[in-house]
Amino acid sequence: MNKKLIIGIIAVIVAIIASVAIFKDSKSEDMKPKYSQKDMDKVIDQQFNEQQELKTQIKELKSKVDSYEKLQTRSLQETTQPSQEKTELAENADKVTYEKEIKPTIDEMLKEYDEIWNQDWKAIWGEGSKDPESLDKNALKEKMESVTNRYDALSKKNTEFKSSSKLTDPVLKEKIEKFRVEFGLATNYRSNAGKAVTQGVKGVAPLKGRMEEAQKSIKLSDQKLSNALASLNEIESKLGVSRN
């Protein structure tokens, strides 16, 4: 055989034998106990300490989470509270404004609304509704012109009174504006009633027919006044203000 080949085979066999020997030695070493009882106890103690440390870390982490949640809750409350306080302050401001700057003018206009009716209209209308032709035409004309002029002046005063601009609450603004519109219509219908009778007195149309037309206007004015007072009642209920 080739000398080199024989040497190669021998080298392979030696390598195999050496590998087997090493494997056996390593297996024998693996089967031997690596740690003494003292070492094992030390490992166990170390693991116990690590577990305790882990528990402590978990506890600290939970405490931090709880603290963070409390901080967030407090922050939310502090953010919400000023908003609530701001709303309450606005409502209180609207109440003060209403009582001092709006209600006195409204009370004055309502009082005048009734005074015009009682002073210039009521007595003559009670008599005239039975027999309009029996009335003193000059006196009737004078009273009806006074009714028209006074209600027109009251309507103008109501239109110029921009009460909604004095309030901050949008709901109150809407309701006070509704009062202004409805009360304005009520005064206009009363004025129209006076004009209708005046036309009859002047002979523009039959007096009886004009007084019937005036009566229709009076009924419409009563409806509008009722609507205006309903809005006013809602405003004052919301603000906690007494009507009288």
The rounded distance, in Å, linking the Cα atoms of 168 and 146 is: 38
Q: Does residue 148 contact residue 183 with C-beta atoms inside 8 Å?
A: no
What pLDDT digit, counting tens, does each position of 169-184 carry?
Answer: 999 999 999 999 999 9
Show pLDDT as tens, one digit a residue, over the chain (244 residues). 555 555 566 555 655 555 545 545 454 444 445 556 666 666 666 666 666 666 676 666 667 666 667 776 676 665 555 555 555 555 688 899 999 999 999 999 999 999 999 999 987 776 555 666 777 889 889 999 999 999 999 999 999 998 888 899 999 999 999 999 999 999 999 999 999 999 999 999 998 899 899 999 999 999 999 999 999 999 999 999 987 6
Q: Would you state the torsion angle of the CA atoms of residues 74, 77, 78, 80, taken in this order, to the nearest 10 degrees? A: 160
Residue 235: Cβ within 10 Å count: 25
Identity of residue 169? D
72, HSE (Cβ side, Cα atoms, 13 Å) = 6
The rounded distance, in Å, linking the Cα atoms of 129 and 50 is: 106
pLDDT of residue 27: 47
The rounded distance, in Å, linking the Cα atoms of 219 and 197 is: 15
What pLDDT digit, counting tens, does each position of 192-233 carry?
Answer: 999 999 999 999 999 889 989 999 999 999 999 999 999 999
Say what percent of the chain tops pLDDT 90: 46
DSSP string, the chain: --HHHHHHHHHHHHHHHHHHHHHHHHHHHHHS--S-HHHHHHHHHHHHHHHHHHHHHHHHHHHHHHHHHHHHHHHHHHHHHHHHHHHHHHHHHHHHHIIIIIHHHHHHHHHHHHHHIIIIIIHHHHHHTT-GGGS-HHHHHHHHHHHHHHHHHHHHHHHH--GGGG---HHHHHHHHHHHHHHHHHHHHHHHHHHHHHHHHTTSS-HHHHHHHHHHHHHHHHHHHHHHHHHHHHHHHHHT----
Quote the pTM value: 0.64
For 111, list phi and psi in degrees, rounded to 5: -65, -45
The rounded distance, in Å, linking the Cα atoms of 224 and 226 is: 5
